[in-house]
Chain A
Amino acid sequence: MTPSVMDEGAVAKSVRGRRLRARLTPYTLLFPGGIWLAIFFVVPMFAMLVLSMSPGDIVHGFTPDFSWQSFHDAYIYGIQTYQTQIIRSLIYGVVSTVLQIAIAYPIAYWLAFRAGSRKTTYLFLLLLPFFVSFVLRTQSWQFMLRDDGIVLSPLKSLHLLPQNYHVLATTTAVIGGLTYNYLPFMILPIYVALERVDPRLIEASYDLYASKIAAFRRIILPLSLPGIFAGVVITFVPVVSDYVNAQILGGTSNTMVGNVIQNQYLINQNYPVASGLSFTLMALLLIGIFAYARALGTEDVLEATAR
């Protein structure tokens, strides 16, 4: 063995080692996130998928068999029995999201362009109520809107409203609750998007004889679309699967699919149907979000949400 050969071998080894490391770098970087996803997303999802195909009961256990029958019992039975609630949830989701955009956009616009030096104070005030628990706030609405409560009772005694008029246990109450509870999650992304609009662009548009409306329509609105998109993605999914508002503010014909899933899990202990309904809902939501992304012309949903 000559010294030169030895050198050559050592060099090859170190090059190989470096290249190996270089090739592994992306995976190493991916590792923490990957583990996170695996433990908190992939594994539970997978467990739920298997559970949806496992007939049985709580006493004898649920054993996966992946048969057509168990698919039918979990998915087709679930969808057939609870299609009203699924459709209702989607409608509530769409209506509430549209309302949220309508309310959130002017607020975010005002905060971004008009609030001046007190901007942070206003933002803080906006978020202040949301430091209180979501359930407590909903419960307080229930207290406020009681049939003989502090809002309706005076109106009734003035004969402005009929005696049996009620707000609770109506669709309006549930959609109102949903809109109220998720509003900040719509305001914030829109605000961030508007905040980033370069004022010089707006000035430039005025220099080019754009009217205020034209400047809004052709400069500000398009530049804030990613914010709206992010807001919709963040709020639509939880709104559709919400069960607290329907439970507290709703009546007998406002049950949402979230309530059904909760009941099937916790009350009936029918895990397969509950998992089946969860997957059905998830599929519908994914389809909805992607259809929305296509309609908005956003090429890549992931890219848009990352912005």
Chain B
Amino acid sequence: MSDFLKDPTLLRGLTSRRMGRRGMLKAAGATAAGLGLAACGVKGKAVTPAAPDAAAKFWAGKVGKGHVNFANWPLYMDPKKPELAKFTKDTGITVTYTEPINDLPTFFAKIQPQLAAHQSIGYDLMVITNGIQFKDCVELGYFAPLDHSKLVNFTKNVAPKYTQEAYDKGNVYSVPWASGITGIAYNPKYVTTPPTSLQDLKNPKYKGKVGMFSDIEEIGVFAMLAVGANPETSTPDDWHKAANWLKEQKDSGAVRKYYDQGYADALSSGDIWICQAWSGDIFQENVSNGSDLKFVVPSEGGTLWTDNMTIPITADNPVDAQTLMDFFYDPAIAASLAEYINYITPVPGAQDVIKTDAAAATGDDKAFLDSLSSSPLVFPSADDYKKLHYYRDFANAAEQHSYSAIFEPIVTS
């Protein structure tokens, strides 16, 4: 027997119960579990409505730094960006223009964790549509309150209608970028009888060639109009009826796909023949691809939405962002933007600018500008507005959840 075995400590070591590796890992796991439990859960942060001095507090001590990071949707500005070039020339403020917003829920999900942690999201100005996410941002305090004393052009030139929108009365957090109409677009190469009604989206002639939006607010409004309900005042009963309409449409094999972006491309390439569409997209697709797509507002009505310029509360350059906001309310700039994007401009004065431009232009340009200044898709009349409906405004989270639970399974089937 060797000497070290006589060592009593070794004997104790050999005979006492040892904690195995497994045991050790289990214990470590249990400790981690305990710690984890305490740290988990995701915090929310509902804020009370903005105090009257919130804007003053936010803007105190903020100075311009000469740069703006602008986050917008695709197809929302002339790719040559003449407006931004003029802005930089006039003010010396440079702009980085990006198009990270393909659909709002996903964009919101991406910026939300950083905003919740009070970190900069890298954007100073972002375009957010009225609807669920806009409301969430307001409730969570993610938008900077605007300083109206600096919004000179806006105050002077905005259409009165746009200062009274229910989602942001008095433009506390936002000013409109553009409004648009959701209607039906079709490719006349395949669809020979112009569609007039939402029921055409169910027409067996177009089986497998119909495109719908994947956005549940968008499809919800269309389906409610199709079953004769008013989306703005709809009840859960109407939602169920509308969902049934959509289910029938899907089960009949009519729908090719539920799109977020990319439908305009699919429409001009013939993957789909008829689809739910945003007015300006179709116009731009025709301009940029030479296609001949058509857009109609269905007889049952269409959807009206407003995309709004907002400043995230954690923006690095809020002062410059606000300057850029106001710049787009110069009627000349608003007209230039509308001429390219073909969406409803919140600046009525732009119509006169376009008319003046048309008078000065000749040939094709003149014809185009003439049709633009009288286009109901850019300058809708009061009668046109009557046919258009906003998304359902949800009173609370529970209501919104039950709406999602009804429509979401249709889109993800």
Residues on A facing B (Cβ under 8 Å): 12, 15-16, 19, 26-27, 30, 34, 38, 42-43, 46-47, 50-51, 54, 56-64, 81-82, 84-85, 146-149, 164, 166, 168-169, 250-253, 255, 259-260, 263-271
Residues on B facing A (Cβ under 8 Å): 4, 7, 9-10, 13, 21, 24, 28-29, 32-33, 36-37, 39-46, 103, 105-106, 108-110, 112, 136, 139-140, 207-209, 250, 255-258, 269-271, 397, 401, 404, 408-409, 411-413
Task: Tell me whether A267 and B109 are in contact (CB under 8 A).
Answer: yes
- B256's contact among A64, A85, A251, by CB below 8 Å, is which? A251
If A59-B46, A164-B209 touch, does A38 touch B257 (CB 8 Å cutoff)? no
Residues of A within 8 A of B397 (CB): 57, 59-60
If A54-B40, A59-B140, A251-B256 touch, does A260 touch B45 (CB 8 Å cutoff)? no
CA distance A255 to B257 in the complex (A): 10
Task: Tell me whether B42 and A54 are in contact (CB under 8 A).
Answer: yes
- B412's contact among A15, A43, A51, A255, by CB below 8 Å, is which? A255
CA distance A16 to B250 in the complex (A): 74
- A252's contact among B21, B24, B43, B258, by CB below 8 Å, is which? B258
If A15-B7, A54-B41, A255-B413 touch, does A59 touch B36 (CB 8 Å cutoff)? no
CB nearest neighbor in B for A145: B271
Residues of B within 8 A of A16 (CB): 9
CB distance from B181 to the nearest CB of A (A): 23
Task: Tell me whether B32 and A46 are in contact (CB under 8 A).
Answer: yes
Task: Tell me whether B412 and A260 are in contact (CB under 8 A).
Answer: yes
Task: Tell me whether A50 and B36 are in contact (CB under 8 A).
Answer: yes
Task: Tell me whether B44 and A43 are in contact (CB under 8 A).
Answer: no
If A46-B40, A50-B37, A56-B44 touch, does A266 touch B255 (CB 8 Å cutoff)? no
CB distance from A289 to the nearest CB of B (A): 22
Interface CB pairs A-B, < 8 A, 17 = A30-B21, A42-B32, A43-B32, A46-B40, A47-B39, A50-B41, A61-B42, A62-B41, A81-B409, A146-B269, A147-B271, A164-B208, A168-B271, A253-B413, A267-B109, A267-B408, A268-B105
CB distance from A33 to the nearest CB of B (A): 12
5 new A-B contacts, CB < 8 A, other than A58-B140, A59-B44, A264-B408, are A26-B21, A58-B136, A60-B44, A263-B408, A270-B404
CA distance A15 to B13 in the complex (A): 12
CB distance from A166 to the nearest CB of B (A): 7
Task: Tell me whether A252 and B255 are in contact (CB under 8 A).
Answer: yes
Residues of B within 8 A of A15 (CB): 4, 7, 9-10
Task: Tell me whether B106 and A266 are in contact (CB under 8 A).
Answer: yes
CA distance A265 to B112 in the complex (A): 12
CA distance A4 to B64 in the complex (A): 81
Residues of A within 8 A of B105 (CB): 266-269
CB distance from B217 to the nearest CB of A (A): 11
Task: Tell me whether A27 and B21 are in contact (CB under 8 A).
Answer: yes
Task: Tell me whether A47 and B136 are in contact (CB under 8 A).
Answer: no
If A267-B105, A268-B105 touch, does A50 touch B409 (CB 8 Å cutoff)? no
Residues of B within 8 A of A30 (CB): 21
Which of A50, A264, A270 gathers the greatest number of chain B CB atoms within 10 Å?
A50
Task: Tell me whether B412 and A259 are in contact (CB under 8 A).
Answer: yes
CA distance A265 to B36 in the complex (A): 21
Residues of A within 8 A of B10 (CB): 15, 19
